[in-house]
Amino acid sequence: MLASPRCGARTRDGGTCRAPAIQGKERCRMHGGARRSGAPRGNRNAQTHGLFTRAAKAEAGQDQLLLDEAERLLQELK
Protein backbone atom coordinates (compact mmCIF):
# COMPACT_ATOMS: atom_id res chain seq x y z
CA MET A 1 0.00 0.00 0.00
CA LEU A 2 2.76 2.46 0.86
CA ALA A 3 4.64 1.68 -2.36
CA SER A 4 1.64 2.18 -4.65
CA PRO A 5 1.58 5.26 -6.91
CA ARG A 6 -0.21 8.28 -5.50
CA CYS A 7 -2.97 10.42 -6.97
CA GLY A 8 -1.64 13.46 -8.81
CA ALA A 9 -4.62 15.74 -8.09
CA ARG A 10 -3.95 19.09 -6.45
CA THR A 11 -5.54 19.84 -3.11
CA ARG A 12 -6.82 23.20 -1.88
CA ASP A 13 -3.61 23.92 0.00
CA GLY A 14 -1.53 23.37 -3.16
CA GLY A 15 -0.16 19.94 -2.30
CA THR A 16 -0.98 16.66 -3.97
CA CYS A 17 -3.60 14.13 -2.92
CA ARG A 18 -2.00 11.36 -0.86
CA ALA A 19 -4.58 8.68 -1.69
CA PRO A 20 -3.39 5.72 -3.77
CA ALA A 21 -4.18 5.92 -7.47
CA ILE A 22 -6.51 3.39 -9.05
CA GLN A 23 -4.61 0.60 -10.75
CA GLY A 24 -3.80 1.65 -14.32
CA LYS A 25 -4.82 5.28 -13.73
CA GLU A 26 -3.17 8.42 -12.39
CA ARG A 27 -5.99 9.50 -10.06
CA CYS A 28 -7.64 8.09 -6.96
CA ARG A 29 -11.27 7.03 -6.78
CA MET A 30 -12.29 10.47 -5.51
CA HIS A 31 -10.50 12.47 -8.22
CA GLY A 32 -11.54 10.69 -11.38
CA GLY A 33 -10.12 7.22 -11.29
CA ALA A 34 -13.45 5.49 -10.80
CA ARG A 35 -15.16 3.78 -13.71
CA ARG A 36 -17.54 5.95 -15.71
CA SER A 37 -16.67 9.02 -13.65
CA GLY A 38 -16.79 12.49 -15.14
CA ALA A 39 -19.32 14.45 -17.13
CA PRO A 40 -21.61 12.69 -19.62
CA ARG A 41 -20.70 12.83 -23.29
CA GLY A 42 -22.31 15.63 -25.25
CA ASN A 43 -24.06 18.71 -23.97
CA ARG A 44 -27.17 17.39 -22.29
CA ASN A 45 -28.03 20.85 -20.94
CA ALA A 46 -28.88 21.99 -24.47
CA GLN A 47 -31.50 19.30 -25.01
CA THR A 48 -35.02 20.59 -25.15
CA HIS A 49 -37.95 18.88 -23.59
CA GLY A 50 -40.95 18.27 -25.80
CA LEU A 51 -42.71 21.61 -25.26
CA PHE A 52 -40.57 23.87 -27.47
CA THR A 53 -39.44 21.51 -30.22
CA ARG A 54 -40.22 22.32 -33.85
CA ALA A 55 -42.73 19.49 -34.04
CA ALA A 56 -44.58 20.70 -30.93
CA LYS A 57 -44.69 24.28 -32.21
CA ALA A 58 -45.98 23.13 -35.59
CA GLU A 59 -48.65 21.00 -33.93
CA ALA A 60 -49.70 23.91 -31.72
CA GLY A 61 -49.99 26.09 -34.82
CA GLN A 62 -52.20 23.51 -36.53
CA ASP A 63 -54.37 23.26 -33.42
CA GLN A 64 -54.78 27.02 -33.34
CA LEU A 65 -55.77 27.10 -37.03
CA LEU A 66 -58.40 24.43 -36.37
CA LEU A 67 -59.78 26.37 -33.39
CA ASP A 68 -59.88 29.61 -35.41
CA GLU A 69 -61.73 27.85 -38.21
CA ALA A 70 -64.25 26.36 -35.75
CA GLU A 71 -64.82 29.76 -34.18
CA ARG A 72 -65.36 31.34 -37.60
CA LEU A 73 -67.90 28.64 -38.46
CA LEU A 74 -69.77 29.25 -35.20
CA GLN A 75 -69.89 32.98 -35.93
CA GLU A 76 -71.35 32.26 -39.40
CA LEU A 77 -74.04 30.02 -37.92
CA LYS A 78 -75.21 32.71 -35.49
Using one digit for the tens of pLDDT, what is the confidence trace for 19-37? 999 888 888 888 887 777 6
- Classify residue 61 as left (phi > 0), alpha (psi -120 to 50) or beta: alpha
Rounded distance, CA 59 to CA 52, Å?
11
Query: Do 20 and 28 contact (CB within 8 A), yes or no?
Result: yes
pLDDT of 35-49, one tens digit each? Answer: 776 666 776 776 667
Query: Band of the pLDDT at 2, cuts 50, 70, 90?
Result: confident
Q: Is the dihedral of CA 64, 69, 70, 72 positive or negative?
A: positive
The answer, as to whether pTM is greater than 0.95, is: no
Nearest CA to 9 among 37, 40, 30, 35?
Answer: 30
Rounded distance, CA 20 to CA 34, Å?
12
